[in-house]
Amino acid sequence: MGTAEFAVPSLRRCVEKHDVVAVVSQPDRPGSRGAPAPRPVRDVAVEAGIEMLTPARIRDPAAVEAILAKAPDAIVVAAYGQILPEPLLERPRFGAINVHASVLPRWRGAAPIAHAILAGDGETGVSIMRMDKGLDTGPVYGRRSVGIPYDATTPALTAVLSELGADLLIEVLSSVETGEAHATPQPDDGATYAPRLRREDGELEWSQCSADDIDRHVRALQPWPGVTLPLDGGRMRILAGLPVKRLAVDEPPSPGAVLGPEGESLVVAAREDAFRVDLVQPPGARPMTPAAFLRGRRER
């Protein structure tokens, strides 16, 4: 059971090593400009000739019975996007086994990768757990950790963790199958939560954020909801940049003041230090450098 790109390596490895009787994914929904949103898990299932189930509500009794009619030994869940009902957790012989993109109990919830970057964590990882009725509270079969690079973005870190999670999943499934697996209850100490991202999480103000805050948001909130900040009289989507130290002066510039160009970039004062804006996307336009945007404004 999976929907997002994070689940693809796990599905591919399960297809290689096990008998995947069905794939459950979210139904098609509108994406950008009215086109269907990408469904990478569905595409892999179609390629492998595996039956697809796309219930609108996984708690619908008909959806539950359709899945259980396949008589699965285990249900593997990775970035599916809906909360499973109790029969799917308990009826399969080995239950439901989840690939979660954090070192549990830190960052339980829907957006663990983004929240790890937002918090400035130095490392993260993956956990394979047996699911229970709680939100990512089930006992853990295994964990793997990796460092978070200083310039990590959510898409880049997702790619790393999806492969790490797939490798660990296959190890765990093998030990579950032989009866050697042991799931350890999670400690309550150190538990944090990573709620689903909202559009307003990316609506920032120069006066309320340090340059490091802005940098973490720009890297974490890709591809959605993205970061917008006031620039050139309106709100602009900031796609890339870098925090820079600001020289100490008697009267520091107000947050939001443009300190000057740096090549094709613009350096803007934040609440603390400054942020070099390298790539922007004006409303209704393609991504471009700030300098290209300003040149276009002057030409009009």
Per-residue pLDDT at 38 exceeds 80: no
User: What is the fold, at CATH topology level, of the domain defined by 199-299?
Assistant: Methionyl-tRNA Fmet Formyltransferase; Chain A, domain 2 (3.10.25)
Q: Say what percent of the chain tops pLDDT 90.
A: 88
The predicted pLDDT at position 45 comes to 95
As annotated, the residues of the chain forming the CATH 3.10.25.10 domain(s) are 199-299
The predicted pLDDT at position 76 comes to 98
pLDDT digits (tens, 9 = 90+) for 46-57: 999 999 999 999
Q: How confident is the model at residue 251 (pLDDT cuts 50, 70, 90)?
A: confident
State the burial class of residue 19 (Cβ atoms within 10 Å of its Cβ: 0-12, 13-18, 19+): exposed
User: What is the fold, at CATH topology level, of the domain defined by 5-194?
Assistant: Rossmann fold (3.40.50)
The predicted pLDDT at position 273 comes to 94
pLDDT digits (tens, 9 = 90+) for 184-233: 999 989 999 999 999 999 999 999 999 999 999 999 999 999 999 999 88
Per-residue pLDDT at 40 exceeds 80: yes
As annotated, the residues of the chain forming the CATH 3.40.50.170 domain(s) are 5-194
Per-residue pLDDT at 166 exceeds 90: yes
User: What mean pLDDT is predicted for residues 7-29?
Assistant: 95
The predicted pLDDT at position 28 comes to 82
